[in-house]
Structure 1
Amino acid sequence: MNNTHAKFIVIEGLEGAGKSSAIALVRDFIAQHTGATPVCTREPGGTPLAERIRDLVKVADPSDPLCDEAECLLIYAARAQLVANVIKPALANGQWVLGDRHNLSSLAYQGGGRGLMPLVSSVSEATLKGFKPDLTIYLDIDPVQGLQRAADRGALDRIEQQAVSFFERARNTYLSLAEQDDAIVIVDASQPMAKVHSDIVAVLQQQGW
């Protein structure tokens, strides 16, 4: 890895796939191989305004339920802020960026899960203009297993409370998109954590950066 050629790496996956531990692993790997800790982001969120949008998306308000289209547009508003004010400036400054979710989440959750792929594709093109990660590691897990892991951690947020069928559609979209893009690598997240982490390290070592 060469710090003068900064990369944007994203960790994706359904609830309970183990993104947090994977992000910690990749962060340490990048720091070890570049000598600098990467800029770490999360979506939705990552800037003061985007974090306020995150609260709107994550917390249910029974008096004013968030419709699917509004959810999609809010997430892209947060993403546009993050890309413009954090991700692109960091990359331009030679800093590696490590993201907890990015556009693939919207394609899977709002596009596949909500059935809004035409809207997602249109807004994605309008806001990102082709900008994408250099590498996305998708942690694949059966939704039932993932949701059980998420429930074991504590109370579920608004999106985590969706029906299993929603997450099945999202997973199918993740897998379909990964098959079409060499920059998306699938890691089996149902394995023991040590094996998942060794697979992630192997993916990073194979990049040849």
Structure 2
Amino acid sequence: MRDEERVGATREALSELPRQGRFITFEGGEGAGKSTQISRLKDRLNAAGISAIVTREPGGSPTAETIRELLLSGKVKPLGAEMEAVMFAAARADHVDEKIRPALASGDWVLCDRFADSTRVYQGEAGVDPAFLDRLEAVAVGGYRPDMTVLIDVSPDVGLSRVAARSGASGSSSDPDRFETDTKEVHMRRRQLFLDLAASEPSRFAVIDGGTSADAVANEIWQAVRARFPVDLGHAGPAAPDARRDRIGG
């Protein structure tokens, strides 16, 4: 067999193999702009020919969305931080089974607004034992850990001002949730815990300054993703900006 025939046969064989998707999570404090940037990254991946889905935590599956309503309404708060952590883990386990696992198996990229790192930060800041959180995480994620985590870092002053602007916008029905209404000191401690996590796992995290413009943040994220997955993305370029999509906050 000639060399070019061997190459063609190899390419054909590889094309028939099941393609595993990539799992990218977005983390950060309140008002970091995660939802905006996830949407922008999805568009850029789609423009590069990559199928990507957007999901969120808590939520992402019907059962997990029901748990989300309980958690963000504050109804679970009186039961304590450990019970909140258990509820987050239950939602996460269902989310992984019902949405994340099937999407990755089909070759889709999964872009998730928050994942296990948020539980480690939010419930860890509230005093839950790290060993307890380790056990919950091991059960909930079932071995599905992010290939990459984008940490959008903003000061609590910036993030909370965005939350307030979003809630006070004309026609908005979005009230601050159970975690957004915590004190500034709590938000500051969470920010530092996120940064500590990123410093402990530099090969997984990309820390992005979320205090700049939406365009600047999106470009920095895109460059970080391209650097992390050069084989998948090659010379893919950016998607066109969309003013209706590219808001700040979330």
Ranges in structure 1 where 5+ consecutive residues have no aligned partner = none
Give the whole-Å Cα distance in 2 for the aligned partners of 1:166 and 1:122.
Answer: 24
CA shift at 1:4, angstroms? Answer: 3.1
Question: TM-score of the superposition, structure 2-length normalised?
Answer: 0.77
1:157 maps to what in 2? 177
Residue 79 of structure 1, aligned match among 65, 79, 92: 92
Residue 198 of structure 1, aligned match among 202, 210, 219: 219
Residue 9 of structure 1, aligned match among 24, 36, 51: 24
Structure 1 window deviating more from structure 2 (191-200 vs 73-82): it is: 191-200
Give the 4+ runs in structure 1 shifted more than 4 A: none
1:49 maps to what in 2? 63
CA shift at 1:7, angstroms? Answer: 0.3
Residue 108 of structure 2, aligned match among 95, 107, 122: 95
The DSSP-based 3-state class of the residue aligned with 1:159 is: coil
CA shift at 1:85, angstroms? Answer: 1.3
State the identity as a percent: 35
2:43 maps to what in 1? 28
Ranges in structure 2 where 5+ consecutive residues have no aligned partner = 1-14, 168-174, 233-250
What's the C-alpha RMSD, in Å, of the aligned pairs?
Answer: 1.9
Any idea what the Cα deviations from partners look like across 1:111-135, whole Å, max 9, x if unmatched?
1x21212321221123224431111
Give the whole-Å Cα distance in 2 for the aligned partners of 1:164 and 1:118.
Answer: 27
Any idea what the Cα deviations from partners look like across 1:13-39, whole Å, max 9, x if unmatched?
111111111011111111112342x12
The DSSP-based 3-state class of the residue aligned with 1:206 is: helix
Residue 176 of structure 1, aligned match among 193, 196, 200: 196
Give the whole-Å Cα distance in 1 for the aligned partners of 2:22 and 2:147.
Answer: 6
In the alignment, residue 104 of structure 1 is paired with which amino acid? D
Give the whole-Å Cα distance in 2 for the aligned partners of 1:102 and 1:60.
Answer: 19
The number of aligned residues is 205
Question: TM-score of the superposition, structure 1-length normalised?
Answer: 0.91
CA shift at 1:65, angstroms? Answer: 2.6
Contact preservation (8 Å) 2:19, 2:105: no
Residue 124 of structure 1, aligned match among 130, 134, 137: 137
